[in-house]
A and B are shown apart, each in its own frame.
Chain A
Amino acid sequence: MAKVTLTIDGIGVMAEPETTVLQAALAADVYIPHLCYHPDLRPAGVCRVCMVEVEGRGLVPSCLTPVAEGMTVSTESPQVDKVRRVAVELLLANHPEDCLTCGKNNRCELQRIAAYIGIDRKQLGRFRRSKEPIPIDTSNPFFNRDMNRCILCGICVRTCEELQGTCAINYVNRGYKAVTAPFGNEPIAESNCEACGECVVRCPTGALSCKGFQEPTREVRTVCPYCGVGCGIRLGVRGGKIVSSQGDPQSLANHGRLCVKGRFGHDFVNHPRRLTKPLVRKQGELVETDWDEALGLVAEKFTQHKGKQFAAIASAKCTSEENYVAQKFTRAVMGTNSIDHCARL
């Protein structure tokens, strides 16, 4: 379809039809502050921070406004500033002021937007702060839910519903007391949450944060070792150790998404009890050895148990090719058809 031409802040922009003003602006490298929009999710239009002025229509949320031919958009005007400033000031007045010790420091969208808009300390000081502290939900082994930092953008709710299909969280309570929570406002560990962490990576503030998060010094692109899907991951490395794992958006296998194991299951790599060398039993004691000796021992024992004495179960952690080799080995080398796969269980 033909592209749509519109003007954003005086710049001519060509946009794909069926996109929104916000998408068109971001694609053209024009920043419009936004909190509840996420490219993977349907727009909700609830943060009211992405307001822009469209000629002839007045103030509109850019995340919900489809582009139209000849549209003239201003991302900055006294009206726009007034509305989004009030929204951001209200959010800040209801948010802890401990950015430096927050797990999302420097990676927080609210922080970024406050900086973009420019918040006056004195102006903000006029606002009443009446939020009562909410206990932090630490029940999940991998991430914490700190609703004191939640801005109710709903990204977690939509992620769980639209992407994961789990629907573990939704809104509870009304008005000022509204929060996102699992069913019955129980701890998240008691819910049907699968701990995939998709909401955690999308949360724009410190409301959902990984336990013990450390900023990596570099990232390494690799494939998740857990199963045959072969999700692309970006392992964050710091001082020779893996400190984080993120889905690789460029991987066709997972488009940036991960399951609980791929995202949170890499602590075994640096675990002190992990075996890094093979062991063989000598006179009843397990003794470290090299791979040649260990594999030689396995081959030798296998030759003693060919045919009916032998059966193999292959792992879902293996790729299709590896599983093919396993069955070939079982049939051709070990001389039996007793081969199965764990995924049948």
Chain B
Amino acid sequence: MTDRFDEFKRRSEEKWRALQSAQIPRILVGTATCGRSAGALEVVEAFRRELDARGLEAHLIEVGCIGLCYAEPIVCITKPSQPGICYANVDPAMAAELVEAYLVGDDPLGKYALGSIGDGSVEGILPLLETPVFKLQVRRTLGKCGVIDPTEIDQYVANGGYGGLVKALAIDPAGIIEQIKASGLRGRGGAGFPTWRKWQFCSDTQADHKYLVCNADEGDPGAFMNRSLLEGDPHAVLEGMAIAGRAIGADQGYIYCRAEYPLALERLHAALKQAEDHDLLGDGILGSEFNFHVKIKEGAGAFVCGEETALIASIEGKRGMPRPRPPFPAVSGLWGKPTIINNVETLACVAQIMQHGADWFAEYGTEKSKGTKTFALVGKINRTGLVEVPLGITLREMVFEIGGGVLNDKPFKAIQTGGPSGGCIPRDLLDTPVDYDSLQAAGTIMGSGGMVVMDEENCMVDIARYFLDFTQKESCGECVPCRLGTKQMLDVLDDITQGKAEPEDLDLLEEVGEGVHAGSLCGLGQTAPNPVLTTIRYFRDEYDAHIQQKSCPAKVCRELITYRILPEKCTGCRLCAKVCPADAIVGEKKQVHVIDQQKCIKCGVCFEKCPPKFGAVECLAGQPTYPTPTTGGTP
């Protein structure tokens, strides 16, 4: 039954080998959304122009993202019989320079290179995988992102793609569940529920129809793991869906993807069509009796629709509101039928497990958290990006090895994991292993993979306020603790950041937080207090400073800081006075200036405007006192 596929695979491999051994150069440009926002499409255009102008032939291929956000746009140039060379921050001018120097000439311009890829070496350029950013990474889920052309199914197939589905068709559904169980795969969406167990519930339920839903409603602020995967390797998700569909006995799949991901949707639609054309989805897949169709449903951007029962309501055309469980979707879900909802990354892992085996998958990870996991590493860090690491790696390794440490070498303060549902982990716990259980013990969650690094300039109260503002707006409003509790906490945090809070407000925050956690109907509400509760737990001194000293130590909360001009440094240049939007700076030219604290709106423009050579404006933690401004004196 797989003859057709074998033939397709053989042709795909031939094509792939031909491309790899082509006698003309290959230029891969990462044009996922992240690359595009950094100007990657202009870079593609520039290469095309430069090649044409010189009459040069090359394969110019748009690929997904290799995850180095800080280095976008990224281009990889491979000359025949040479290793590929990856270049960072390429712009049209650099594209022209590269064509001239490396394609016309033979100078690889090592100064622009990130590293080399493939066999062989180039003098002065380190192999990319040995550079610090990649050294501790294990790229499996993201392995094909940035390497293959996501719009070409044969490139996916040539690299082992759909081999997992072929194996899944050859064994019975129970066998597939057995494999997933042996792999130890846990849901990558956040909660970490064992994937096989969820499938087993659904498989055990009798019904005329069952559904498999891929949850691509990635909504955490600062998280983009799923988007990148869908843009860079959409077939991996489709293959995982078909395998999962067979395991649970579903004949219909849905991908619930947010409409704010236009490129991911475009890639998914194209991949879906290709898979159907090659008999990998649809009726009688690869000649078997297994039917599996996939529909794409665009979400309208409600964070709560990432919650599985709200997601189901949304697919059904209703308002996206969670409903109580039980019954669990595995028993009664979409249209009242047994339904499994798996995250994008979980499904990509499923495809890998079926391709390479459970043991291969479980090579990495800890006893209870197997495999690798993708993370969006962002915030105050030198190398922001999308990384994939073996579970069990420490937070310290992620921040300081892979991420290259805190931006501008400022002291590390905290790392926030799990998005609005997660918490902040302080410096003392940097050696916490990144796995489901250790993160939970630290008061946060793994979540879908957002990691935000913070330095001393981040106010932890303000961070908690930011996340509460988000969850409060995104709450569906249905259950009392979440609707009113998150707003109450936000109001209290507002007061704390404005110096209007009393010491007992911390008790109120904890009390309401615990009520919201224990009382809310769905995961959104149950986890919404985490950013507040963990920051109180680990950064209580900052809360105390805000409440008792009316001072923001990180100098973030406007009401709790003071700008002042140092008389001994001020030259009376008037620069600050001219830009002050509140006319709060008084003083004649060449005389010492003074900020009228009653007028000052703490915008910080004077601080930024004062030339560094003077450095006469300083920002202090704490509320200002209001003496009558006196100016004058010789600078």
Contact = CB atoms under 8 A, between A and B. Distances in A.
Interface of A: 43-49, 51, 59, 61, 64, 79, 82-87, 90-91, 93-94, 126-128, 130, 151-152, 154, 170-171, 173-178
A277 B412 CA distance: 92
Nearest to A180: B477
B170 interface: no
B488 A128 contact: yes
Contact of A177 (B319, B477, B481, B485): B477
A48 B520 contact: yes
Given A51-B519, A82-B518, A46 B478 contact: yes
B491 A130 contact: yes
Nearest to A47: B480
Interface residue tally on B, bucketed by range? 35 or more
Interface of B: 302, 304, 319, 321, 324, 472-481, 483-488, 491-492, 495, 504-505, 508, 511-512, 514-516, 518-521
Contact of A174 (B324, B475, B491, B521): B475
Contact of B484 (A82, A93, A170): A93
Given A176-B483, A178-B478, 6 more contacts: A43-B324, A59-B519, A61-B324, A82-B515, A90-B481, A90-B512
Nearest to B487: A176
Contacts of A84: 519
A86 B505 contact: no
A68 to B, nearest CB: 12
Contacts of A48: 479-481, 519-521
B481 A174 contact: no
A86 B514 CA distance: 9
The interface residues of chain B, by DSSP majority, are classed as helix
A64 B519 contact: no
Contacts of B487: 130, 175-176
Given A83-B515, A83-B518, A151-B480, A127 B488 contact: yes
A343 B382 CA distance: 79
Contact of B476 (A49, A85, A174): A174
A97 B515 CA distance: 23
B319 A83 contact: no
A61 B520 CA distance: 10
B503 to A, nearest CB: 11
* Most B CB within 10 A of own CB, among A59, A94, A128: A128
A47 B491 CA distance: 21
Contact of A86 (B479, B485, B491, B521): B485
6 contacts: A61-B324, A94-B484, A126-B504, A128-B495, A175-B476, A175-B483
Contacts of B518: 59, 79, 82-83
Contacts of A64: 324
A90 B473 CA distance: 17
Nearest to A175: B475
B484 A171 contact: no
B519 A91 contact: no
A176 B477 contact: yes
Nearest to A128: B491
B321 A171 contact: yes
A87 B478 CA distance: 13
A175 B321 CA distance: 11
* Most B CB within 10 A of own CB, among A59, A82, A86: A86
B324 A90 contact: no
Given A82-B518, A87-B519, A173 B477 contact: yes
A177 B484 CA distance: 10
A79 B485 CA distance: 17
A174 B508 contact: no
Contacts of A45: 324, 479, 521
A86 B512 contact: yes
Contact of B480 (A82, A152, A171): A152
A275 B48 CA distance: 94
Contacts of A59: 518-519
Nearest to A61: B324
* Most B CB within 10 A of own CB, among A128, A151, A175: A175
Contact of B302 (A94, A174, A176): A174
A43 B323 CA distance: 10
Nearest to A46: B479
Given A90-B481, A93-B484, A174 B515 contact: no
Contact of B488 (A43, A90, A151, A152): A90
A87 B479 CA distance: 9
B461 to A, nearest CB: 16
State the 7 A-B residue pairs at the shortest beta-carbon distance, nearest first. A178-B477, A86-B515, A128-B491, A90-B484, A176-B487, A45-B324, A175-B475
A174 B519 contact: no
B521 to A, nearest CB: 6
Contacts of B504: 126
B476 to A, nearest CB: 6
Contacts of A51: 519
Contacts of A91: 480, 484
